[in-house]
Amino acid sequence: MSYDQKTVERVWEHGRVMPEADPTQWRKDECGAWIRREHYGSDKSEFAWHIVDVAPAEAHNPGNLRPLHRDNTFDPAAHRPHCHVTADSAGRANKRGG
């Protein structure tokens, strides 16, 4: 699904702000994976992200949209993410298999 820039920015605000990183450029998703603002929709970046609807039964509710690393998924039935990518605790590196 394609989102307008206003929606993308609103969803970006749901990412977790980390004190060691510029929040206009860097956030963490629900799995703790680093995402980078301008890498939205990329299929090549280590920090790419997409938008997921955490409550699809309430379609078209922007409050239900969240940023998630491109390789992480969300199970709306269980209401939890499937974390294939997380971050290491020592810096800005993502790791697979979290």
Kindly report, residue by residue over 38-48, the tens digit of the pLDDT.
Answer: 999 998 999 99
> Mind spelling out the 3-state secondary structure of 4-35?
CHHHHHHHHCCCECCCCCCCCCEEECCCCCEE
Instruction: Give the per-residue pLDDT at 76.
Output: 85
Average pLDDT over residues 9-18: 96
Average pLDDT over residues 75-96: 82
Instruction: Give the per-residue pLDDT at 91.
Output: 64
Calpha distance 90→8 (Å, rounded): 28
Instruction: Give the per-residue pLDDT at 73.
Output: 95
Residue carrying the six token digits 């509710």? 61
Calpha distance 91→26 (Å, rounded): 12
pLDDT above 70 for 92? no
